[in-house]
Every structure is written in structure tokens, then in C-alpha cells.
Structure 1
């Protein structure tokens, strides 16, 4: 699946984002995905402890529906991991250099398609607090808060839900 995102610049003019191909991740992608997680600016400062030793292993990739967004230069621009039982968007990262280009929206649209194909009715997201606005902008609805679990996660996190029967296709990307 390849698509190009149409976005708006600061003056409201339409501009084309990067062409992105979304593909199933393989065990060989594990090191690149781990590096993306550990280097993410979204987890700097007080959030750094959450990803300091985090690893996206080959076994995780093989056991779950993990998909990567690949740019025109074959660089990994982002990825997501969809757990099927119980249904949850477990991981979603967009490379720092690709932030704001529509890659996240393309990944969410792809995840929704995969979830529907698997027969899911909804997908839960326990969000990194700064990412809540993004998830809400692509159709997730806030359902609650997951309390901090000290020594693992030291802050409360928003809990959201994608209700697939209500997912608005306006959030999707345009194919090229």
C-alpha cells in the first residue's frame, strides 16, 4: 500500500507530503524499530526512563501485527504494533524527521484497515500523554485514564478507543 498525504501549510495552502509505503515488519527490522523508540524526542526529559532500555525484538514482531512506514529513500518513517487479543494499539512511533508530514495519519488508517480485516470492533490505545491530541485528531475517543505504575510508568496516561464502526474515512489518506 503506497499513499501520499495531502496536508496544508501555515497559510492554508494544500501541499503534498511524502510518498509512504506501509509493509509488514520483519524480524530484520527489530534493531531499526528499537533505535526509533529509544531516540524519540517525544520521550526526552522526564519520559526518558520509559524507553531507556526498551527493545522491539524479532519475537515481538513475529508474534504481532507490526507494520512499518517506508519513505521514498527506503528509510523507516514510523511503525505501529496492533495486538489482536485484547485489541490494542501497543506501539506507534513516527521518526522525528517525519513528524507533521502525515505519516502518523497514514499509519492509523492502515491500522484501522488491519483491525477491521481481523474482525475487531474497537482498538484501545493507552497513550503517551503528549500524543493524546494526535490520537483524538484521528478519531480516537477518550475513555479514561490509566494510573501510573511506579517503577514501570511513573505518570498517568490517557486511555482512548478507536470505535471502528464510527471511524470517519475523512481521517484516511488519499492514494497515489
Structure 2
């Protein structure tokens, strides 16, 4: 699903080169999958060194159906149950508007580095 995302086409594609969600990541992080007859989307919340939304994807065929909003609502519920007061989000630039519409506030910018040749917005999502 990640590798088929139109948001990661062109120059953005290289950030996903060789990347896959692994069984270790699923065991370590809080990963939630939204599915109907097929996978509609998922997110991964890491806790170390701080609470951070590591991944959030909605399948191309499921976009525009409110799946992203449902995933964000589930993320908030999960974080609250874990006693987390805020979640850091290092956003893919095209997703910035989605996260801001979901209540996240921009707090900075992560500079380009390595295979990520572009700056990325850093946001804070308050929980509670």
C-alpha cells in the first residue's frame, strides 16, 4: 500500500526505497489496520524515544471515505489509553493539510537529510 501511494510518486518515491513494515515493528509499535473486505489503511505509533506517528497510510481506493479521520480518531484513543499527552508527527509535505485539519499544530521543520532531499513539517498533536 505504501509503495502504491500516489503521494509518494516521483521525487518522493525514494524515501520508501527498500522500506517495509516488519514483524518486529508490528510487535514493538502500536500498529492498527482498518479493513473491510481489504485493507483500507493503517498507522504505526512509536513510543521511543517519544510518542511519534511513524506511519499513516490510506489505500488509494479508499481515499475520500473518511478512513484517515477514523485512523486519527483511533490514534487519539490509543494514545489517551496509554497516558500520552501529545504525539509528534514528521509529516510528508503533501499530508500537512490533513494533519492540520486533524488538529495537529506545526511546531517546526525537519531539514533534508540522507535520501530525504526535502524539508518536512514537524507537528504536535495534543491528546485529551
TM-score normalised according to structure 1 size: 0.70
Partner of 2:121: 158
Structure 1 residues 15-44: Cα deviation after superposition (integer angstroms, max 9, x where no partner):
xxxxxxxxxxxxxxxxxxxxx111111100
Unaligned ranges ≥5, structure 1: 1-35, 166-176
1:42 correspondence with 2:7 = yes
Unaligned ranges ≥5, structure 2: none
Structure 1 residues 103-152: Cα deviation after superposition (integer angstroms, max 9, x where no partner):
00000000000001000010000000000000001111111101111x33
Count matched residues. Answer: 127
The CA distance in 2 between the partners of 1:141 and 1:115, in whole Å, is 17
**Match for 1:112 among 76, 87, 102?**
76
Which of these two proteins has the greater Rg computed from alpha carbons?
A: 1
Moved over 2 A (4+): none
**Match for 1:132 among 96, 114, 126?**
96
Across the aligned residues of Structure 1 and Structure 2, the Cα RMSD in angstroms comes to 0.8
The CA distance in 2 between the partners of 1:52 and 1:37, in whole Å, is 11
